[in-house]
Amino acid sequence: MSRFEESAPARGGFSYDLCKRNEMLMQKGLKPSSYLKTGTTIVGLVFQDGVILGADTRATEGPIVADKNCEKIHYMAPNIYCCGAGTAADTEAVTDMVSSQLKLHRFHTGRESRVVTALTLLKSHLFSYQGHVSAALVLGGVDVTGPHLHTIYPHGSTDTLPFATMGSGSLAAMAIFESKYREGLTRDEGVKLVAEAICSGIFNDLGSGSNVDVCVITKGKREYLRNYMLPNPRTYVSEKGYSFSKKTEVLLTKITPLRELVEVIEGGDAMEE
């Protein structure tokens, strides 16, 4: 009985009890199981009035597309959004958690949330899990101190940048940014550049695909442009269509009559002690 209680984590979080045994098994040749990752292209850039975030919409499980149109731009606060790459469960959980913490903080302080607050909450959470929470994030927003854009790595380090890309398609997207980014872009130029960078990831990286999501955040306003571009329609739909005949073959018919329910009433009161 006591052994069960010992192995369960006391307050939640990770239990490292099996690490030694896993090491031993790996040395003996056991291959570790793999995680489900999103394989993604996410980008962010700062333009003259604020921040623009972009993401593709493909979620993969190894070589198979699990979701053709998932949402990778997560809400953190009315003025702050966060793109997530890496293990889908981790990005969802960590952004939801920090979003809730920010809301409580807004009630507590009576002020609009600041991007650096979200940044600090995210980075300290990820650092305390030593990289095991596999979430690579692009955090962007506009607050009283101005527009901000940050990248956060799974181990908890952060960068503050004018333009950033993360995910398996980050190199393809960064190639576009490094060629075409300049300071003081207008909104339309910025959105066009973000869409171009995401398209570069979509077409050149196999882990990214389907559609482009864009989110424009300016002082006092945000526009979440879900499926801003749909550059990948299905190429062929058969006119005649296909049917799947639900033919069931009767192999054997056997009727088993149910036994009659017999009520046993013993003389006397039932259920007495």
Partner 1 sequence: MPKQQANWSPYDNNGGTCVAIAGADYCVIAADTRMSTGYSILTRDYSKIIQLADKSVMASSGFQADVRALQKVLAARHLLYQHQHNKQMSCPAMAQLLSNTLYFKRFFPYYSFNVLGGLDSEGKGCVFTYDAVGSYERVGYSAQGSGATLITPFLDNQLKSPSPLLLPAKDAVTPLSEIEAIDLVKTCFASATERDIYTGDKVEMLVLNASGIRREFMELRKD
Are 85 and 153 spatial neighbours (Cβ–Cβ below 8 Å)?
Answer: no
Indicate the residue among 18 and 206 with the shorter CB distance to partner 1: 206
- In the residue annotation, 40 being an active-site residue is answered as yes
Q: How far is the CB of 83 from partner 1 (least distance, A)?
A: 18
Q: How far is the CB of 174 from partner 1 (least distance, A)?
A: 15
Beta bridge partners of 83: 73, 138
What is the Cα–Cα distance from 98 to 183, expressed in whole angstroms?
30
Kind plus residue range of the DSSP H or E element containing 55 = strand 50-55
| List of residues contacting partner 1 (CB under 8 A) | 39, 58, 60, 63-65, 68, 168, 202-210, 231-232, 234-238, 240, 242, 244
If you search the block for the tokens 């879900």, which residue do you land on?
Answer: 226
Q: How far is the CB of 222 from partner 1 (least distance, A)?
A: 27
Q: How far is the CB of 118 from partner 1 (least distance, A)?
A: 30
Active-site residue (options: 38, 40, 41, 117): 40
Beta bridge partners of 54: 43, 214
Indicate the residue among 7 and 243 with the shorter CB distance to partner 1: 243
Instruction: Give ∠ CA 12-18-23 in degrees, rounded to 5.
Output: 140
Which is nearest to 94 in space by CA: 126, 120, 64, 67?
Answer: 126
What is the Cα–Cα distance from 186 to 49, expressed in whole angstroms?
8
Q: Environment class of residue 93 by beta-carbon count within 10 Å: exposed (0-12), middle (13-18) or buried (19+)?
A: middle
Catalytic residues: 40
